[in-house]
Structure 1
Amino acid sequence: MNEAKWIDISQPLDDKLAHWPGDTPFQYVTEYTKEQTGSVNIGKMTTSLHSGTHVDAPFHFDNSGARILDLDLELFIGQARVIDGSSFTMLNEEMFSHFNLDGVTRLLVKTLVPNNPIHFPADFPSVTTCGANYLGKKGVKLIGVDVPSVDHPDSKELSGHHALLKNEIAILENVMLDSVPDGDYELIALPLPIKEGDGSPVRAVIRPLLLDEKGE
């Protein structure tokens, strides 16, 4: 049986990448060229830890929260379900209850916002407290969204972040799902081991699960 191919759902990191207003944009330069060193090119990047596809650590929004290196790696590797929530304007209990989430540990949500890494959307659906609580009751341990944040860009309270933390649900943001069909996949979205980090860029990839991998 042929193995399914991995699908990259990460935003490419380049100087055109949209960034949160006021945050540090991504920039890459070849700091030293092969002509200068005599042997190699050496690049340097400057970036916010929340550039592109990334994981939020609880310390990002809670001074007493865990840093990125404290998070359980098992959260970011394993079976995930992709759902199409593009007909909903909020990621709330009503929205999530439309989908079968029985046995789902990792959930990736396609929203109504088109994937466009060079454009920062002014508005996008956010996770509500009731939505986070519903996911917690269903046993979800990670949510990934295809927008820059699980909270509205104007929010200062970050109720979605805090509600997800209360329910022990990890946060993955800015995944690219426009061309991904609903269904079950294997996910790998490992954050970098940044010891004091409040977040980390990730290379998020998925591949469809074959029937025997689903236990069917």
Structure 2
Amino acid sequence: MTRIVDLTLPLEDGAPALGRLARPVIIPHTTHEGSKKLKQGTPDDLLTFTTTYMGMLDHSGTHIDALIHNNPDGAPIDEMPIEMFMGKAVCLDLRHVGDRGDITREDMEAAEKEAGVTVDGHIVLMCTGINERHWPNDEIVRMNPQVTAEATYWLHERGSRVHGVEGPSTDRVDENLFVNHRICRDLGMVHYEWLWNLEAVLGAGEFQFQGIPLRIKGASGSPVRALAFLE
């Protein structure tokens, strides 16, 4: 039997977002009551309906960056290989790093050992605990740890082209350095941001992961439904 664990942040109106990014707008568009005037169906059996308006960036909620996001010569989300968004994965326990801490090479090696999985081309998810500590307070956008240069190179050395984090970024955005993003740009790596519920897959060992983006032509990223498939 396969157990499916949802690793997707609930996407809702006005959810916290980085100051330089717009918050998502998710509001009623048509209501059942309002649609009565359209007189669909028959007088004694009206067919009413509801729809929702969504206005948001392609980096809203649980999302994946496209290669073009930081590299003008990189592929947009609709041209990236679909295989990049699925495959074997492991979740590393990095909760000890704490708010605004540094995730180092030593942290990655110790967490890899604890997970019991040798990283070899895996999608590597990093549980830092900031969702549990801060969601849904706006301060969460300033609390994420930094995936350091050495940690990013550690992933690349082990064939991991895709990684994922809780919180809005792999970098401490207010420092304006974007170390992880710059290395990912140079090495052709990408990452998921604002994953959710990672505590549920800690200790699971190796599992299958899917975080499939929408096929948005020319986009710099896309919201995804991130799922872990555990045996």
Which residue is equivalent to 2:119? 102
Unaligned runs of 5+ in 2: 41-46
Q: Is 1:186 the counterpart of 2:208 in the alignment?
A: yes
| CA positional deviation for 1:168 | 2.7
Residues 172-211 of structure 1 aligned to structure 2 (within 5 Å): 172-176=192-196, 177-182=198-203, 183-208=205-230, 210=231
Quick one: structure 1 residues 166 and 22, their matched pair in 2 at CA, closer, same or farther if it must change by over 3 Å? closer
Which residue is equivalent to 1:59? 68
Check the 8 A contact 1:186/1:206 in 2, yes or no: yes
Q: Could you say what secondary structure the match of 2:172 adopts? A: coil
| CA positional deviation for 1:124 | 1.7
TM-score norm. by structure 2 comes to: 0.81
Residues 20-35 of structure 1 aligned to structure 2 (within 5 Å): 20-33=18-31, 34-35=35-36
Q: Is 1:78 the counterpart of 2:87 in the alignment?
A: yes
Take 2:54 and 2:106, find their aligned partners in 1: how far apart are those partners?
Answer: 42
Take 2:180 and 2:109, find their aligned partners in 1: how far apart are those partners?
Answer: 17
Take 1:95 and 1:202, find their aligned partners in 2: how far apart are those partners?
Answer: 27
Unaligned runs of 5+ in 1: 211-216
4+ aligned runs moved over 4 Å, structure 1:
none
| CA positional deviation for 1:74 | 0.7
Q: What's the Cα RMSD here?
A: 1.9
Check the 8 A contact 1:132/1:167 in 2, yes or no: no
Deviates more, 1:64-73 or 1:137-146: 64-73
Q: Which amino acid aligns with 1:35?
A: K
| CA positional deviation for 1:64 | 2.7
TM-score norm. by structure 1 comes to: 0.87
| CA positional deviation for 1:126 | 1.4
Q: Find the partner of 1:93 among 93, 101, 105.
A: 105
Identity level (%): 25
Q: Which amino acid aligns with 1:83?
A: L
Larger helix percent: 2
Check the 8 A contact 1:123/1:153 in 2, yes or no: no
Check the 8 A contact 2:123/2:161 in 1, yes or no: yes
Which residue is equivalent to 1:214? none
Check the 8 A contact 1:136/1:168 in 2, yes or no: no
Larger strand percent: 2
Take 1:129 and 1:36, find their aligned partners in 2: how far apart are those partners?
Answer: 59
Q: Is 1:47 the counterpart of 2:80 in the alignment?
A: no
Q: Find the partner of 1:146 among 166, 179, 199.
A: 166
Quick one: structure 1 residues 36 and 127, their matched pair in 2 at CA, closer, same or farther if it must change by over 3 Å? farther
| CA positional deviation for 1:150 | 0.8
Q: Pick the structure with greater CA Rg.
A: 2
| Count of residue pairs brought into register by the alignment | 207
